[in-house]
Structure 1
Amino acid sequence: MSTQENYQTATEDKISTLRKIIYGFGAFVNNLLGAAIGTMTIVLNLGLGMNPALVGLLGALPRLVDAFTDPLMGYISDHTRSKWGRRRPYIFWGAIVAGITFALLWQLPRGQSEEFYFWFFLIGSIIFYLAYTIFATPWVALGYELTPDYHERTSIMAVQNFMGQFAWLFAPWFLLFMQNESLFSDMIEGASWLAVIIGLFTIIVGILPAIFLTERFTPIATSKTIIDPNAPPVKPRSLSYAVADFFKGFLITLKFKPFLSLCGATFLVFNGFMMVSAFQSYVIIYYVFGGDQALGAEYVGWAGTVSFISTSCAIFIVTKLSSWLGKRNAFFITIAISIFGYALKWICFTPDNPMLVIIPPIFFSFGLGGLFTLMGSMVADVCDLDELETGERREGMFGSIYWWVVKLGLAAAMAAGGFLLHATGFDVALAGAQSADTLFYMRLADVLVPVFCSVVAIWMVATYPITEKMAHDTRSKLEARRGKMAAEVNALDENTDGVTPA
């Protein structure tokens, strides 16, 4: 590893701390919704007695809808033209609708069959994720365009990642809250009230980036306008044209190799972490505490608190490493630390000394801290390189596909966790009397899956090509091109009395 050639951040490229925090509120909401639905689905198994394999399917199936709606929302956001901007209207209304639908999703009726609960939750989840996409996709794209500076992008992503971690601070305590006997009659009632609280918070906080942030990039004239100034006005685009243009942009984005490396690594690292978040709870409750749900839930919460503190520290460490060694090398270091943490779980998750469960999160939290600090910044660099090659800005498309991969990782973790749990022989009816083989296989999967995913992620990022110098050169070329196009458009406006052909 060698130090990088550093370029000074220009004053006009810096984003104030207040604006970074406001953008970070979106990360808090985004992570809170994802963490909540992942954590609260345990109610379907422990509260309603659903087969864990079915619970896993409920986490995975809505992602089939996301596979289409996320890129579509990215395309819509990229091509929206309004006086409020391309992103802000969707962020505002998406936060409101997502908050309402999340609260309604957990108002589970009593005394129904397993089949009823499956379809109720599946249909409700699909509606919720549609609203979630309307909010999250434009919010992500907005972050990519707040600044064109290589290092300031990492700083923005560090702040938003730090604020997003508060969701993971609270999420591990959701189980303890939902089964609090002094507040609720059972876990199902606890989930219904928790969902209302989260829904209201989503609405109030989620709209802040739409209200207080501005968008950097505005549509500029295309080369076709400049090449043929005497062409007749272009008619409004037809639906068939929009569909063809959507698939064209979608395929270009998917074929962009630097972006694919980032998506693959993100899927693997995040999937590994979510295996920790979902599967780990069962290991702590049924192996470390012999089936004591209340005590196990408390320690799950403490492990989550330690994870939050460690991740927060990792975010600022990785930001410094990025400026010294480059984003790719910083990624290698943080993922290696997280692998060590996952391996420690085999030793530290023990009924002989339950307090040791708080040690592995100190290390494996570096994976998530480094991932979303560096990857968001790296995707922003990819957007610049894509514009240089294609002449179009596709933050929405890149962001939508990237975050669909994140949500796919969450779904894969939930589905894999459910099926793995079922495959180990786990039976909720046995409570603390699970077999020795079941406990062994639960622990083995909890360690090996995230370690394997992290190792493959390092291999995938090894070929990522964008260095600081390359990013700087790309920006210089883009600004020269934009300046030339703007000058030609201004000259064209003067020659046509200010009327520019569409």
Structure 2
Amino acid sequence: MASNLSSSSASHSAPRPFSLLGKLAFGAGDIGPGMTANLLAFSYLIFLTTAAGLSPVAAGSVLAIGRIWDAVNDPFIGYLSDKTRTRWGRRYPWMVVGALPFGLSFFLMWVVPPLESEAARFGYYAVVSLLFQMFYTVINLPYATLTAELTKDYDERTELTAFRLASSLFGAIFALGLGLVITQTIEDLGQQYLVLGGICAVLAVLPLLWCVWGTYPYAVQRNALQPAATDEVPLSFVAQIKVVFANRAFLFVVGIYLFAWLALQMTASIIPFYATFWMGLDSYFLAALLVQGTAIVMMVLVNQLSRRLGKQEVFYIGIGTWVIAQIALFFVQPGQVAFLYLLCIVISFGVATAYVVPWAMLPDVIELDELKTGQRREGVFYAFMTLLQKVGLALGLFLVSLALQFSGFVSEAAQQPDSALMAIRIFIGPVPMVLLLGAIALARFYPITRQMHEEMLLQLAERQRQQDSDGAAG
């Protein structure tokens, strides 16, 4: 018995490193969510206003309803996945069961129903948006928590996060590239979006199954399928909420992520309007493709800089560069297409930073909570991070739609009034700039440094050795 405990402890302390195929499989879990989320971020608001015929405020309400429901849905699914007990672990069953409904509900979002009234169309899109956001959470939240469960190494987490988010960007790039091809081969606007949504719906499901198949052996080997047994009495859901919000480091990570991603999502939603109505381009997909496509290469740079300089330092560099490029977009004039595309490439460095750094910080926060409480609540922390982010995004997207509505934007019109064009330029320049400066300010006070994290791991390892010793003696 003691021999088995010793063997298990040795396996736990020196797990088999992730191979390249293992890292790729882990990253594949975010291809589908990245593909669908980014296509919605860039294209759904303009789809609803130009193809589905909704007013900007109605279209923004659809997006806000879906986001708010998603935010409410997240904590409960995170809590349930933490409490799930099966022979396959806590997270994997959720990913497998939710995969097919996730793809189907995404496809339905791009169907233009044969309904005459705007109210009926609004109801249709509100319902399918609620369904999609629910199944998105079912597959993505359990997947996201695997980062903290599969490894405790500071640098390996950063590397897995980079693979995960690079895969997310790959999915986004594929969707945007496909959109560019489709807009050049299909003339009908509604058919363009229907074909794009259908192909992406199918391709979003398959990588999820690859992720489960490719990472499950690592989860078994690292004893990551179930949480380590403790003598602690589990906290109630309400008590866990109190613990989450009492974690100062977590609140900083949430704020950093919220400000940076709100800037990104607001920019993404307004780029189609900016490229189409201000710049006069036939397609907005190339501009979006340059932002997301170059970000994959930039993520390698961000990962390397993070190892050399630290997470906070690389965040200052990446987001600071993004601020300069973002405000420059306000001053770009119609016809300066090459300058626009250059700024899109520069922005990709900041986008890569916003992808990698906050998600690499979150597992450190979870271990700080474990050190204080003796329990691991990955699902709850990940859920509340996304909850607050999505509430903020719902508000941000609704503000964009309100700005379009009250500035005189005309749905399904080829030309827009000067007031609408000015609103579009403000929301692509000054507004994101202010949000990004807020993210930099919060990063300045993030308390967990590399040295502090190493000390935390030593204390957790000592606690685990003591528990193993007490168990062997018992």
TM-score w.r.t. structure 1 length?
A: 0.85
Residue 296 (structure 1) aligns with: 282
CA-based RMSD: 2.2
Q: Is the 8 A contact 2:99 2:139 kept in 1?
A: yes
Cα 1:423–1:354 change in 2 (3 A) is same
How far did residue 262 of structure 1 move? 0.9
Cα 1:120–1:441 change in 2 (3 A) is closer
Cα 1:263–1:413 change in 2 (3 A) is same
Q: Is the 8 A contact 1:47 1:187 kept in 2?
A: yes
Residue 384 (structure 1) aligns with: 367
How far did residue 159 of structure 1 move? 1.5
Residue 325 (structure 2) aligns with: 341
2:263 pairs with 1:272: yes
2:418 pairs with 1:449: no
Residue 468 (structure 1) aligns with: 450
Q: Is the 8 A contact 1:383 1:398 kept in 2?
A: yes
- Which runs of 4 or more aligned residues in structure 1 lie more than 6 Å from their structure 2 counterparts after TM superposition? none
Deviations 1:409-457 (A, max 9, x none): 543343222111122222235422x333332332122101110000011
Q: Which runs of 5+ in 1 are unaligned?
A: 1-9, 226-241, 290-294, 493-502
Deviations 1:76-112 (A, max 9, x none): 1112111101111111112222112222333332242
Number of equivalent positions: 455
What is the rounded CA distance, in whole Å, between the counterparts of 2:354 and 2:137 in structure 1?
A: 21
Paired amino acid for 1:334: G
Q: Is the 8 A contact 2:182 2:192 kept in 1?
A: yes
Residue 306 (structure 1) aligns with: 290
Paired amino acid for 1:76: L
* Percent identity of equivalent pairs: 27
Cα 1:48–1:223 change in 2 (3 A) is closer
2:407 pairs with 1:424: yes
Q: Is the 8 A contact 2:170 2:293 kept in 1?
A: no
Tell me which of 223, 245, 256 is aligned to 1:254: 245
Paired amino acid for 1:286: F
Deviations 1:31-86 (A, max 9, x none): 11211223234222101221111101110112222232201111111121111011
Equivalences for 1:76-475 in 2 at 5 Å? Answer: 76-173=80-177, 176=180, 182-183=185-186, 186-214=188-216, 215=219, 216=222, 217=224, 218-223=226-231, 245-289=236-280, 295-297=281-283, 300-347=284-331, 349-428=332-411, 430-432=413-415, 434-475=416-457
What is the rounded CA distance, in whole Å, between the counterparts of 1:467 and 1:66 in structure 2?
A: 32
Paired amino acid for 1:23: F
Tell me which of 19, 23, 45 is aligned to 1:16: 19
Cα 1:13–1:147 change in 2 (3 A) is farther
Cα 1:415–1:224 change in 2 (3 A) is closer
What is the rounded CA distance, in whole Å, between the counterparts of 2:413 and 2:34 in structure 1?
A: 33
How far did residue 387 of structure 1 move? 0.2
Cα 1:249–1:26 change in 2 (3 A) is same
How far did residue 219 of structure 1 move? 2.9
Cα 1:262–1:271 change in 2 (3 A) is same
Paired amino acid for 1:282: F
Residue 3 (structure 2) aligns with: none
Question: Helix, strand or coil for the counterpart of 1:59?
Answer: helix
What is the rounded CA distance, in whole Å, between the counterparts of 1:176 and 1:306 in structure 2?
A: 12
Question: Helix, strand or coil for the counterpart of 1:466?
Answer: coil
What is the rounded CA distance, in whole Å, between the counterparts of 1:466 and 1:305 in structure 2?
A: 34
Cα 1:197–1:429 change in 2 (3 A) is closer
Cα 1:375–1:471 change in 2 (3 A) is same
Q: Is the 8 A contact 1:275 1:417 kept in 2?
A: yes
Q: Is the 8 A contact 1:91 1:209 kept in 2?
A: no
Question: Helix, strand or coil for the counterpart of 2:116?
Answer: coil
What is the rounded CA distance, in whole Å, between the counterparts of 2:273 and 2:319 in structure 1?
A: 24
Paired amino acid for 2:143: W
How far did residue 355 of structure 1 move? 2.5
Q: Which moved more, 1:419-428 or 1:387-396?
A: 419-428
What is the rounded CA distance, in whole Å, between the counterparts of 1:302 and 1:64 in structure 2?
A: 30
How far did residue 192 of structure 1 move? 2.6
Q: Is the 8 A contact 1:334 1:366 kept in 2?
A: yes
Q: Is the 8 A contact 1:14 1:147 kept in 2?
A: no
Question: Helix, strand or coil for the counterpart of 1:61?
Answer: helix
